[in-house]
Amino acid sequence: MKKWMFLPLMLAAFLACTGCGPQSAGVSVTGLRCEYLTNPLGIDAAKPRLSWVLESSDRGQTQKAYRILAASSAEKLAADTGDLWDSGKVDSDRSNQVGYDGAEPSAGTPVFWKVKVWDRNGKESAWSEAAFWSRGIAAADWQAEWIGPDTDSKPTVMPPAPFFRKSFTVDQPVRRAVLYLSARGLVEPSLNGERIGKDVFAPEWTDYTRRIQYRTYDVTPLIRQGGNALGIVLGDGWFSGYIGWRKERGHYGLRNSLIARLELESEDGSKTAVVSDGTWKFAEGPILFSDFMMGETYDARREMPGWNTPEFDDTAWKTASVVEPPAAPLVSQPAEPVQVHEEIAAKEITEPKPGVYVFNLGQNIAGWARIKVSGPAGTKVVLRFAERLNPDGTVYVTNLRAAKCIDTYILKGDSEEVWEPRFTFHGFQYVEMTGLPAKPGLDAVTGRVVYSSSPVTGSFECSNPMVNQLYSNICWGQRGNFLSVPTDCPQRDERLGWMGDAQIFIRTATYNRDVAAFFTKWMQDVEDAQSPEGAYADTSPRLKDLPQFEAVAGWGDAGIVVPWTVWRVYGDTRIIERHWASMERWMDMLLTDNPDLIRKNRLNNNYGDWLSTVPDAGWAEASARKIFLATAYWAYDAKLMSQMAKALGRAEDFAKYDALFQKIRDAYQKEFLKPDGHIEGESQTVYVLSLYFDLLPEDMRAKVAEYLIEDIKKNGNHLTTGFIGVRHLCPVLTQMGYPEVAYTLLNNDTYPSWGYSIKHGATTIWERWDGWTTEKGFQDPGMNSFNHYSLGSVGEWLFASVAGIDLDPEVPAFKKSVIRPMIGGGFTHAKGEFQSIYGKIASGWKLDGDALTMDVTIPVNTTATVYVPAAEGASVTESGKPAAKASGLKFVKQENGFAVYEAGSGNYSFASTVKK
């Protein structure tokens, strides 16, 4: 066996590690990850965090100890030699956020690691299969230059995308080849005619004045003995293209450039590198222009076959220009890349006008269309993209505002041509195709679905088909908007990382997908966008020259809510530590601006409960609601800061923020709370936030909840909440003893409701409750997205209360979970599954008359408090036996229609009788 194997084949060698050491039928170790990623390359963390998942068919299994080996080669690891780190046997149940404490590897060098554990009985498991990570490259080690096209091109126009190439020779066998690549712009790399990796839109969006990400690729299988050619296409993207609603290109600059280092390690251990410099060649090819907002134009007649192969003759190509390097540092991308994940075939084709063909995918997506067409050379096929149709069947594009979203393909004249763009994306369900000489077939358009590659962790299903469609819409909304940053929408001239949307939806997002790495990356964008005096921006990355777009209540507070949520869901205290100073600057700014503890100053664009259906009776009432909301969020921030301080062991900070919460709470009560329990500026959201944020005296909570119910009834048993209030509405109703009211809101299909949009064809969450109504048609096209995830924050309640999977209020990361399904809404069954960082949690129930069955799964190394719905005095069985005597269960109490048990890990099947 060779001393080194290239990375894509390493896992085959790793299998030699499996089965080493004493065996245990009780526990196996799987799911090894480093910094939330599976086998990541080029990470910046010198001491990364490791995690693993334990599996067992036994009940009540736990980890009592672990041992980690880390080695500099797969062979050493297979021989149980941890030359980089041998943790020894560590008496601990920790299997998440375990810090690497071995020798710091050099840049680019892989670290191979594996784990074994000891179970509750002291039995030793087999070694896990091996995993690996590699360190990123330091700034001084690039030894490459930033290059771009020649400087004669006009930077103010949208230029063609340049194609770069570099030929080189390899004269001895290579055991490892790694490409490091970054750009001011977007890159698509290839080697010897083969595309490298599956990433799109790399190196992804950051504030290019603060940091620029790079990607790392193992390209060992693509290297040849003899001649080679590295090719890179350079696009505009976020750096130089249109961003948001800005009317001009070049938010960060107008001249795209790239930097590359291809590092080759020979069998004898010697290293050479191919780097970007003034010897590279470039040419303009078939991409005439490409922009996220405007679309892409491609002339297939200008293609250069073999341009990225060593045999290609590039003598007519120009020499690349060496350009000034950026002041911002290069950093490794810490999150999963954006990739194409799904394809959707067109469901139907219509012809609303002669020669105008409209393809319906049946699903609103973010991505682009791959087309299959034929015709004479020079034929111009034009594609337009839309989420909805006009009454006459034509595409509705007025809500796109200034985003043209037009792709154009000019045929070269082959019998059949297949094309898809490289550097643009759209939000759409419908594709209009014009310009073909004959009617195309249904297979002429295929939807290509693009989003960040956060792993799927959740699923939900119930007996109500409309609610199942709602959950599908929530998931598709997350797919379409979690693209490098959590955008608001993927279709119009905006697509920004709005903070309010993100903080409202993050808890739902964590159920659907593992977004730990995604939000770790984005929180750095959030801090980069913070003003010197502490104001968080409305969007992150920040749009420049918009001073009023900061410090907004419910939006800026994402700087507190997001790290707190990542800590609660994943047990991640490092994200709190990393951003603690930033969060304190925000809190200090709020107190400086509002010394009387009512947050009424420096509210800037104060959006309030954005897109609430409550009509403002007058400016005074609207203003009261906005000041109330701002003060409520400030109190909430203080409460979360106290909890995070406690988690970090910061006793003084805990006391400071706990006292601040109490002071703001007291000021709120004096300012807004009336003696009879009514609240100034009252609305459903005012009542909901007062209850959820714990701003009320205990003896007022029930009365305020009654007023909330009265308001819902006054509105015909409908909600009136906007972005801010909707997340907490159903949870508060459930917490206060009104789950049936929450179910009523969930089941509604009349305006305003989730069901109303679904009844009218929604396949994603709409931005507005009234995006389209039977009475008025389309809302104001100036702001009317049909793929906006914010109002889908009810997904949190679907998991936590309908399926019944939630965090324990005192224990983070689902180390202890709460299983408590709320039966109601006329549902006869519901089921949720969630892949926590410790493993799968599942809760499913079925109702047959008053007979309930309930299946629960709790991961190894965790516990749960399980609430089994059961009428007072009803018997509860588990797998046919009295539950109180079942293995792994301990009866705690009967409470409010539930039999409550403490449970260890394992699978459980309960049966009981419920009160109808």
Q: In terms of Cα–Cα distance, which of 205, 155, 210 is closest to 185? A: 205
DSSP state of 799: I
pLDDT-based confidence at residue 22 (cuts at 50, 70, 90): very low
> Tens digits of per-residue pLDDT, 728-750?
999 999 999 999 999 999 999 99
pLDDT of residue 5: 39
- Asked if 66 contacts 126 with a C-beta cutoff of 8 angstroms, the reply is no
In 57-106, the DSSP E strands lie at: 63-71, 85-86, 90-91, 98-99
Write down the pTM of the prediction.
Answer: 0.96
What is the distance between the alpha carbons of residues 368 and 432, in angstroms, rounded to a whole number?
12
Q: In the prediction, which pLDDT does 621 show?
A: 54
As a whole number of angstroms, the distance between CA 419 and CA 432 comes to 16
- What are the tokens at 788? 């906006």
- Rounded to 10°, the helix 558-570/516-528 angle is 160
pLDDT at position 235 is 98
The pLDDT of residue 189 is 98
At 85 the pLDDT is 98
Question: What pLDDT shows up at residue 17?
Answer: 39
Task: Give the per-residue pLDDT at 586.
Answer: 98
**Tokens, residue 464:** 């109500």
What integer pLDDT is reported at residue 155 of this predicted model? 63
Calpha distance 513→515 (Å, rounded): 6
Q: List Cβ neighbours of 262 (8 Å cut-off, separation of 6 or more).
A: 177, 178, 179, 180, 219, 230, 273, 274, 275
Tell me, what's the pLDDT at 13?
Answer: 38
pLDDT for residue 10 is more than 60: no
Distance (Å, whole) CA 355 – CA 369: 19
Say what the pLDDT of residue 545 is.
80
Q: Is the pLDDT of residue 874 over 70?
A: yes
The predicted model gives 110-131 an average pLDDT of 97
Helix (H, G, I), strand (E, B) or coil at 647: helix
Token reading at 297: 């134009």
H or E segment and range at residue 747 = helix 739-747
**Mean of the pLDDT values across residues 679-698?**
95
Please report which confidence band the pLDDT of residue 889 belongs to, taking 50, 70 and 90 as the band edges: very high
First vs last C-alpha separation in the chain: 68
Q: Is a pLDDT exceeding 90 seen at residue 774?
A: yes
Distance CA 249, CA 258 (A): 19
As given in the structure block, the two tokens for residue 655 are 């006391």
User: Taking all residues of the chain, what is their mean pLDDT, rounded to a whole number?
Assistant: 94
Which pLDDT score is estimated for 602?
92
Residue-wise pLDDT tens digits, 834-862? 999 999 999 999 999 999 999 999 999 99
Token representation of residue 219? 């390209």
In angstroms, rounded to a whole number, what is the distance separating the alpha carbons of residues 10 and 4?
A: 9
Residues 6+ apart with CB under 8 A from 315: none
According to DSSP, the residues that pair with 891 across neighbouring strands are 901
- List phi, psi (to 5°) of 669: -65, -40
Express each pLDDT in 590-618 by its tens digit: 999 999 999 999 999 999 999 999 865 44
pLDDT (tens digit, 9 = 90+) per residue, 520-562? Answer: 999 999 999 999 999 999 999 999 888 889 999 999 999 999 9
Q: Which of 188, 527, 767, 878 is catalytic?
A: 767
- Rg (C-alpha) for the chain, rounded Å, is 29
Q: Which residue in this structure is represented by tokens 């954006």?
A: 338
Of the pLDDT bands very low, low, confident and very high (cuts 50, 70, 90), residue 74 is very high
Residue 338 has pLDDT above 80, yes or no: yes
Burial classification of residue 265, based on how many CB atoms lie within 10 Å of its CB (0-12 exposed, 13-18 middle, 19 or more buried): buried
Q: Percent helix, strand and coil across the chain, each rounded to 5?
A: 25, 30, 45
What pLDDT does 915 receive? Answer: 86
Task: Using DSSP bridges, classify how beta strands 816-819 and 863-869 pair: parallel, antiparallel or unpaired.
Answer: parallel
DSSP-derived 3-state class of residue 680 = coil
Active-site entry in 494, 527, 682, 796: 494
What's the CA gap between 7 and 32, in Å, rounded? Answer: 16
**Is residue 767 annotated as part of the catalytic site, yes or no?**
yes
Q: Which of 103-107, 155-159, 183-187 has the highest mean predicted lDDT (pLDDT)?
A: 183-187
> With 50 as the cut, is the pLDDT of residue 7 above it?
no
Q: Provide the pLDDT confidence category of residue 391 given band limits of 50, 70 and 90.
A: very high
CB 607 within 8 A of CB 555: yes
| 494 tagged catalytic | yes
